[in-house]
Chains A and B, each alone.
Chain A
Amino acid sequence: MAKHIIIDPVTRIEGHSKITIFLNDQGKVENAQFHVTQFRGFEKFVEGRPFQEMPSLTARTCGICPVSHLMAASKACDDIMAVRIPATAAKLRRVLNLAQMVQSHALSFFHLSSPDFLLGMDSDPVARNILGVAAKFPELAQDGIWLRKFGQQVIERMTGKRVHPAWVVPGGVSKPLSAEVRDQILADVPKALTIARRTLEWFKPAIKKFEEEISTFANFPSLFLGLVTPDGSLEHYDGFMRIVDSNRKIIADKLESSAYAHHIGEAVEPFSYLKSPFFKPLGYPGGMYRVGPLARLNVCDRCGTPLADRELAEFRKLQEGAVLSSFHYHYARLIEIVYGIERLSELLGSSDILSTQVRAVANPNKSEGVGVSEAPRGTLIHHYRIDPDGLVTWANLIIATGHNNLAMNRGITQAAKHFVTGKKIAEGALNRVEAVIRCYDPCLSCSTHALGQMPLQVQLRDVEGTVLDEQLRE
């Protein structure tokens, strides 16, 4: 008789979800589903609001990466106003976006995932958290906390607020950068870089212990989507969308943000509030693709900064073609932290960074606008339509975690098939299935634009739906 295992709630991720593992008559894992169980409806309740409010309204989808929503929303508003924002404003937005990425990656790597690497996948779940890490590996925990603080402080220094700053506005930014703030940030850059490199040097050899996880944590061929500059370098703020296959062969390039809907479809599954985007030419679900740090490193030709490029060259040696195991999201995240620090330091050194011309002013000149940027977790798309008075009539938000939905489902199926046996869920197996989700660092509150914390629930069910075993984590 076929059975189900349900993991509910999934822990150490941002948002609320559960996993169901389906067993067949022989008691072997047949399939697994990732259910995102929350809903908020941002796309609906922004209707009727003045479009200038969209950055602040949509930023409220998430307290971890409000800056990412500010970026995509402001770019969509720039598009509606049909303005090209001042060059300094674009640079300042870039710096802020990179700082956001550094702090978010640090949170994902050190606070949420490092307990698995340092304390072990099978260690006592009571201590398998950042406090457990701090007790056994205080230096590494301090590094993580400091690095996250660095990113958060850049945001606070530039905007006056760590979470939900209102500084990024349609047309640019509201205030220029002061020399004092620039110097404060630059003074912290050497320490930030030292920590990021030190962590990489520790992590690179450490991953050898996780060969089994690497080979089974969503390790399969898929497409990868990310932004690149016109010359193919790593890009987080602007640029074109590029899609590569598992051989890193470019299958779509220089895709304009405004044309995203021609390339990306959104499927709806009855078991989750999270939609499942797919690459239209390959259909559903064959058009599965991944976004985020791993995808960005797979799609770009180079990072464009010296230290990150050196790390990228080493990263590429992991595998011929694209790096396929989602376990390597963690590695990619560390390389992106190095890149982010290098690049923001470079931008802050530009001669026009203190220019006071930081905002373009215009009425709405188009009836719709699209803004695409790279959030820490992947490509973020905001698309709005307005009426002649500038009030929003329709909005579509495609969030990074959403892009990864199909791959997350396939990934937990792969890991469950490998690690889950029998009718009881072994704690270590449960943690590994969760850890697959954690690789993607999903932000479910963002991706469903939903409400709540992010614990995890796993249930084991038979074919009739009887719950055989259940594990809850708050």
Chain B
Amino acid sequence: MKQTTGRTLGIKIGGVEAQAREGDTILDVARALGLFIPTLCTFKGLSAAGACRLCMVEVRGVPRLLPACATAVADGMDVTIDSPKVVAYRRQVIELLLAERNHICAACVANGNCELQEMALKLGVTHTRYPYRYPVFKVDASHARYGFDANRCILCTRCVRVCEEVEGARTWNVMGRGIRSTVATDLQEPWGRSTTCTACSKCIHVCPTGALFEKGRAVGEMQKRENVLPYLSSMRSSGR
């Protein structure tokens, strides 16, 4: 987990002069100031992963874009959060996510409650410029209560982190490389045969899409109860 010190730093972000504590990320500062930087993998109460690349920002003097969620502020930093370059980049990220797997909103349990769908709307993504890849992924419905549909997974790794950092079960992990990467339970055993899963459902409720869902839900019925997690997280860190 991120550690902050008491030292105060002066930075400029989105044209606003601001003070930040040493150890804060650019995203922390932006959110404290009410500035919008889109994210899909960040989740309050979990460590930063820098997985989705939506929060990329420009920092003066740095030749490449940096992820706001995983970049600590430095004294005198000048951050641009909505230049045409980063806005175009973020749209492109969403387009690539949509083209990469099989996101069929019309038949999805999370339709209307999906962060990917919401983010696409927010960023004005109306279509993708890239051909859909239509990969073949089997649904893992072996668990008695939950299902995993890799067709809808964006590899944000929230499930992996919540399982390790909050539940302590470490059932989920990432396997494979590049385009073949996927999250898997235990040593790629069917979820229903996992010996580590506690069936706590935290992974279900932090999943930003319909990739992880409660079985028996019809289209649009998968409501995520993500507000519960920060409390669980703070209870755990306070040892209660």
Interface residues, chain A, CB within 8 Å of chain B?
A: 48-50, 52-53, 55-57, 60, 164, 166, 169-170, 174, 361, 363, 389-391
With an 8 Å Cβ cutoff, the count of chain B residues facing the other chain is 18
The residue from B111, B138, B142, B216 contacting A52, defined by CB atoms under 8 A apart? B216
A60-B106, A60-B107 known; A53 and B142 CB under 8 Å? Answer: no
Q: Does B72 touch A at the CB level, under 8 Å?
A: no
Q: Are B215 and A50 in contact (CB under 8 A)?
A: yes
A-B contact count (CB 8 A): 47
16 contacts between A and B (CB under 8 A): A48-B138, A50-B139, A50-B215, A52-B215, A52-B217, A52-B218, A53-B109, A55-B218, A56-B107, A60-B106, A166-B220, A174-B221, A361-B216, A389-B141, A389-B142, A390-B141
Q: Are A391 and B219 in contact (CB under 8 A)?
A: no
Q: Are B218 and A174 in contact (CB under 8 A)?
A: yes
Q: List the 5 closest A-B pairs by CB distance, nearest first.
A: A389-B141, A169-B218, A56-B219, A166-B219, A56-B107
Q: Which residue on chain B has the smallest CB distance to residue A167?
A: B218
Q: Does B147 touch A at the CB level, under 8 Å?
A: yes
Q: Are A391 and B139 in contact (CB under 8 A)?
A: yes
Chain B residues 207 to 222 lying within 8 A of chain A, measured CB to CB, are 215-221
| CB neighbours of A48 from chain B (8 A) | 138-139
**Whole-angstrom distance between the Cβ of B151 and the nearest chain A Cβ:** 9
Known: A49-B107, A55-B219. 13 other contacts (CB 8 A): A50-B139, A50-B141, A53-B219, A56-B106, A56-B107, A57-B107, A60-B107, A164-B106, A166-B111, A166-B220, A169-B221, A170-B218, A174-B218
Q: Which residue on chain A has the smallest CB distance to residue B141?
A: A389
Q: Are A363 and B220 in contact (CB under 8 A)?
A: no
Q: Which residue on chain A has the smallest CB distance to residue B213?
A: A50
Instruction: Give Cα A391–Cα B149 distance, bound, in whole angstroms.
Output: 11
**Whole-angstrom distance between the Cβ of B217 and the nearest chain A Cβ:** 7
Instruction: Give Cα A164–Cα B219 distance, bound, in whole angstroms.
Output: 11
Instruction: Give Cα A361–Cα B216 distance, bound, in whole angstroms.
Output: 8
A57-B107, A389-B141, A391-B141 known; A50 and B219 CB under 8 Å? Answer: no
Q: Which residue on chain B has the smallest CB distance to residue A390?
A: B141
**Whole-angstrom distance between the Cβ of B149 and the nearest chain A Cβ:** 8
Q: Which residue on chain A has the smallest CB distance to residue B136?
A: A48
| CB neighbours of B106 from chain A (8 A) | 56, 60, 164
Instruction: Bits for B128-153, please: 1 = Cβ < 8 Å to A, else 0.
Output: 00000000001101100001010000
Q: Which residue on chain B has the smallest CB distance to residue A51?
A: B141
| CB neighbours of B217 from chain A (8 A) | 52
Instruction: Give Cα A390–Cα B139 distance, bound, in whole angstroms.
Output: 10
Instruction: Give Cα A267–Cα B87 distance, bound, in whole angstroms.
Output: 55
Chain B residues 147 to 165 lying within 8 A of chain A, measured CB to CB, are 147, 149
Tell which of A49, A166, A389 has the most Cβ of chain B within 10 Å.
A389
| CB neighbours of B109 from chain A (8 A) | 53
| CB neighbours of B147 from chain A (8 A) | 50
Q: Which residue on chain B has the smallest CB distance to residue A53?
A: B107
Instruction: Give Cα A55–Cα B106 distance, bound, in whole angstroms.
Output: 11
A50-B147, A164-B106 known; A56 and B142 CB under 8 Å? Answer: no
Q: Which residue on chain B has the smallest CB distance to residue A74?
A: B218
A50-B141, A60-B106, A60-B107 known; A390 and B215 CB under 8 Å? Answer: yes
| CB neighbours of B192 from chain A (8 A) | 389
The residue from B107, B142, B149, B216 contacting A363, defined by CB atoms under 8 A apart? B216
Tell which of B106, B109, B138, B216 has the most Cβ of chain A within 10 Å.
B216
Q: Which residue on chain B has the smallest CB distance to residue A49?
A: B139
Chain B residues 97 to 127 lying within 8 A of chain A, measured CB to CB, are 106-107, 109, 111
Chain B residues 188 to 220 lying within 8 A of chain A, measured CB to CB, are 192, 215-220
Q: Which residue on chain B has the smallest CB distance to residue A170?
A: B218
| CB neighbours of B221 from chain A (8 A) | 166, 169, 174
**Whole-angstrom distance between the Cβ of A55 and the nearest chain B Cβ:** 7
Instruction: Bits for B207-240, please: 1 = Cβ < 8 Å to A, else 0.
Output: 0000000011111110000000000000000000
Q: Are B216 and A166 in contact (CB under 8 A)?
A: no
| CB neighbours of A169 from chain B (8 A) | 218, 221
Tell which of A50, A57, A60, A361 has the most Cβ of chain B within 10 Å.
A50
**Whole-angstrom distance between the Cβ of A69 and the nearest chain B Cβ:** 12
Q: Which residue on chain A has the smallest CB distance to residue B112?
A: A166
| CB neighbours of A60 from chain B (8 A) | 106-107
**Whole-angstrom distance between the Cβ of B114 and the nearest chain A Cβ:** 14
| CB neighbours of A390 from chain B (8 A) | 141, 215
Instruction: Give Cα A23–Cα B141 distance, bound, in whole angstroms.
Output: 57
Instruction: Give Cα A379–Cα B106 distance, bound, in whole angstroms.
Output: 25
Instruction: Give Cα A50–Cα B218 distance, bound, in whole angstroms.
Output: 10
Q: Which residue on chain B has the smallest CB distance to residue A387?
A: B141
Instruction: Give Cα A390–Cα B149 distance, bound, in whole angstroms.
Output: 13
Tell which of B138, B147, B218 has the most Cβ of chain A within 10 Å.
B218
Instruction: Give Cα A169–Cα B107 distance, bound, in whole angstroms.
Output: 12
| CB neighbours of B139 from chain A (8 A) | 48-50, 391
**Whole-angstrom distance between the Cβ of A205 and the nearest chain B Cβ:** 46
Q: Are A166 and B142 in contact (CB under 8 A)?
A: no
**Whole-angstrom distance between the Cβ of B108 and the nearest chain A Cβ:** 8
Instruction: Give Cα A466–Cα B142 distance, bound, in whole angstroms.
Output: 58
| CB neighbours of B216 from chain A (8 A) | 52, 361, 363
| CB neighbours of B111 from chain A (8 A) | 166
Q: Are A56 and B138 in contact (CB under 8 A)?
A: no
**Whole-angstrom distance between the Cβ of A372 and the nearest chain B Cβ:** 21
Instruction: Give Cα A86–Cα B10 distance, bound, in whole angstroms.
Output: 64
Q: Are B218 and A166 in contact (CB under 8 A)?
A: yes
Q: Which residue on chain B has the smallest CB distance to residue A173?
A: B218
| CB neighbours of B141 from chain A (8 A) | 50, 389-391
| CB neighbours of A50 from chain B (8 A) | 139, 141, 147, 149, 215
| CB neighbours of A164 from chain B (8 A) | 106
